[in-house]
Amino acid sequence: MVPTERPRALIATGTGRYADPWHPYPATSARIATILRADGWDADVDHDVDHALAHLDGVDLLVVNAGDPWRNGGEPFVDTAASAGLIAAIARGIGLVGIHAALSTLRDLPAWRAAIGGEWVPGASWHPPIGDARVRILDADHEITAGMPHLDVFDERYCDLVVDADARVLAVHEVDGAEHPAVWVREHPTRAVACSLGHDERAYDSPALAALLQRAARWASRR
């Protein structure tokens, strides 16, 4: 019997202009890769975001774990191969998962923002100090969150994000009596999961977060 080919995941990791002083992207991408491999994925980490986007042929799932290239006020720069690769991959239906600061990345490539359905807005979005938190499942009918009552995680929680009206919010967290979207999905133009959790390695010590990421990868890629 011929073994079934493992689905391919590519994790685009923040280095260079996609790095920042606060997020250990190489370390968290390694944890994400381990979580996906445990669920049957052939998961590779690419430490050059633009290179990753230009080489998505044959990839079933793109995970973006990278920071804001505009955070230092730099001039917009479009890598034409990266832009073309991302647009083509979305058009063919690649699954997308954006992790934490990915809500503020790829600002030069509007196809990313259009696909994930939300973003961190400089000057408006913010976060309380990192710490222990409970993330409440809002939508228990979705495949990703079915049977999950909540997630306990040590993490940095994003607040006052902009989330598009047609996004389906699956989980929320509370700060000072107000609830904020933590995880949401969209199905057009392709299946995409936005997960605002995952600041550093401690977040991935949560079995619930690991399970959520495995389910997110399966759903986004239609496994």
Which DSSP symbol is given to 7?
Answer: P
Superfamily of domain 8-221: Class I glutamine amidotransferase (GATase) domain (3.40.50.880)
Per the DSSP assignment, residues forming a β-bridge with 135 are 151
Distance (Å, whole) CA 185 – CA 216? 9
Please report, for the chain, the start and end positions of each structural domain, with discontinuous segments joined by +. Answer: 8-221
Beta strands, E only, 106-177? 118-119, 131-137, 150-155, 162-163, 168-175
Cα 222 vs. chain centroid, distance in angstroms?
16
Q: What is the pTM of this model?
A: 0.96
| One pLDDT digit (tens) per residue for the chain, 223 residues | 444 689 999 999 999 999 999 999 999 999 999 999 999 999 999 999 999 999 999 999 999 999 999 987 767 889 999 999 999 999 999 999 999 999 999 999 999 999 999 999 999 999 999 999 999 999 999 999 999 989 999 999 999 999 999 999 999 999 999 999 999 999 999 999 999 999 999 999 999 999 999 999 999 999 9
pLDDT in the model for residue 4:
63
Half-sphere exposure of 109 (CA within 13 A, CB side): 26
pLDDT in the model for residue 5:
87
Closest CA to 18 of 84, 63, 71: 71
